[in-house]
Amino acid sequence: MKIRYNSLGDFISLLETEGELVRIKEPVSPILEITEITDRVSKSAGGGKALLFENVEGADFPLLINAYGSKKRINLALGGNIEEIAGRISKLINMPTPQTIGEKLSRLKTVLEIGSYTPKISKGKAPCQEVVAYGEDVNLLEFPILQCWPGDAGRFITFPLVFTKSLKDGKRNVGMYRMQVYDKNSTGMHWHIHKGGAEHYRQHCAANKRMELAVAIGTDPAITYSATAPLPDGIDELLLAGFIREKGVELTRCKTVDIMVPAQAEIILEGYVDPNELKEEGPFGDHTGYYSLKGDYPVFHVTAITRRKNPIYFTTIVGKPPMEDCYMGKATERIFLPMLKMMVQEIADISMPWEGVFHNCVIVSIDKRYPMQAKKVMSALWGTGQMSFSKMLLLVDSDIDISNHTAVARHLLDTIDIERDITISEGILDVLDHSAPNALYGGKIGIDATRSIDGEPPRQEITKLSNGELTEEQIREISPDIVSAGSPFSDTKNRLILISIDKKRGFQARETAEKLLKNISIFPYNIMLFLDKDVDSKDFSTALWRLFNNVDPQKDMFKIEGLLIIDATKKLLEEGHNREWPEDIVMDKETIEKVDIKWPTLNIG
């Protein structure tokens, strides 16, 4: 049965009916405490429950978080079944040319249905404008805006829908860009250089014209999700929201700027950005699990706040996976697969492991029909929309279950020829990627783990150096820098060992690898992954997260005596890394202890 919502309140009611919502009445601080509570819940089995904090210290309104943070809740949020949405998109883009009168009438019906998904002007007074504040009465601090992590520069609005218009053609963009709160009526506007909001900003800068915009907080789930979706340029995010809801979004005009916003939203911020004004923004604990660094960004001046009489402040936190955004990323993976398959037709399926934080690793299965087709697909994906940010692409055959990431890792190690199957390239990277020496671009890697077919050069037979294992003690005896070592798989053809080192100087991974090979006559591994000392070499998931985040394939993957060495340690200035290396996101001890004391009273279960 299709589930539709007109507002965030409708969704909350369903979550409560489904037993997916916990109301927390205990006073809780928005400074770090809500993050610590939510992080524990989101990392519990299945993502825990949605949390409604009804008594946030220093704020007038309740706060909703982790609303999308499970497989069940993200399906409920988008109408009940994500795969059904993907199926509708697939049917639409693969619709054959009509031949008969009946088929033409059917096509007309489809066109009329799509027309009903376009935004509509709301009649009567919009709920988002029940209460209006202008000028000096504007006060962002009445809302329970979070400081998420100890190293954050302040409080951040983390689930804003930013509405902007193009100067060239008036087209709308709806994006989600974090907003650091500077004071009661101004924030930063952190739009990434590759995104639609940033393009509209560049247009206004070129024209030296003030840029009007509006921010919606707390819309129905389809609208909130659509602001995060990787749509092609020029496609209205609200049309996608209407398609998901099967009903057009109701809009109303703002009070002080010429922007249309969702009428049923909880809160609207109206204002402008001056193209001649920048201010330092950040750091911020980001979805990579690291702090994104400070930088100069435009300032958003709030000219009005409109809201419901009793609004709910909707927010999220991001950090080391798994968290709420992982489930939103999985929804994007499934919903946009039909569009990706239309553009690259041999694709059978894709999977983005959580450890890859969306853009750092994509597993792709293909229907392979001719030589070097895997490399053709790599090139195609690196030139396609937001897939162009992907740093690591792993290609396998269509009969491989790519949802089973452990099985994929085994298949990779049992299949690849290190000399033949690894392609190192260079291209654009996500703005949050810190591994490359230069911001916004760096090394990429494509791995062909498909079966060889006629016409391709044969893979070299993988020669095991030894069938044995080395104990951790034997390895640690070679170098005092080695903290721990372990192999996740003992029976694959390519042998992988993870080695954590106490890094104190540049190129220490290479130095340690050379020392191991010099002192061990028969080394039973041909792939070495080096990690910093705080990573347990037995924790394969965390090791992968560091691999995907910390490695620039151009400079951090190299061979010694035919062995593949991967350096996933923190890089130093002497290694040619001229950028600041961000810190891991870790909650402070004081907050953890406060939440430990409060936990039994929260009734989370």
Please report, as a single letter, which amino acid is at residue 275. P
Q: Which among 144, 182, 181 is positioned nearest to 31, based on CA atoms?
A: 144
Token pair for residue 218?
């707390």
Class of residue 420 by CB neighbours under 10 A (exposed 0-12, middle 13-18, buried 19+): middle
- With the C-alpha atoms ordered 21, 24, 25, 28, is the resulting torsion angle positive or negative? negative
Q: Which among 338, 387, 416 is positioned nearest to 91, based on CA atoms?
A: 338
Cα–Cα dist 553/564, whole Å: 12
The helix (run of H) or strand (run of E) holding residue 23 is: strand 21-24
Cα–Cα dist 584/533, whole Å: 13
Beta bridge partners, 380, equal none
Q: How many CB atoms lie within 10 A of CB 575?
A: 19
Cα–Cα dist 231/234, whole Å: 8
Token pair for residue 204?
């206004």
Query: What Å distances lie between residue 52 and 140, 145, 258, 535, 566, CA to CA?
Result: 20, 14, 33, 34, 44
Q: How many CB atoms lie within 10 A of CB 432?
A: 22
Sorted by sequence, the CB contacts under 8 Å of residue 601 that are 6+ apart come out as 26
Q: Which of 220, 286, 433, 448 is catalytic?
A: 286
The span from the first CA to the last CA of the chain, in angstroms, equals: 30
Q: Dihedral, CA atoms, 543, 546, 547, 548, nearest 10 degrees?
A: 130
Sorted by sequence, the CB contacts under 8 Å of residue 19 that are 6+ apart come out as none
Q: Which among 585, 496, 507, 501 is positioned nearest to 535, based on CA atoms?
A: 501
Q: Which among 593, 546, 43 is positioned nearest to 318, based on CA atoms?
A: 43
The string of DSSP codes covering 333-376 is HHHTHHHHHHHSTTEEEEE--GGGTTTS-EEEEE---STTHHHH
Q: How many CB atoms lie within 10 A of CB 143?
A: 25
Cα–Cα dist 266/219, whole Å: 6
Q: How far is CA 311 from the centre of its chain?
A: 27
Q: Is residue 152 annotated as a catalytic residue, yes or no?
A: no
- With the C-alpha atoms ordered 264, 49, 600, 595, is the resulting torsion angle positive or negative? negative
SS3 of 118, please?
Answer: coil
The string of DSSP codes covering 161-228 is EEEEE-TTT--EEEE---EEEEETTEEE----TTSHHHHHHHHHHHHT--EEEEEEES--HHHHHHTT
Q: Which among 363, 425, 371, 421 is positioned nearest to 396, based on CA atoms?
A: 363
Cα–Cα dist 389/93, whole Å: 25
- State the catalytic residues: 286
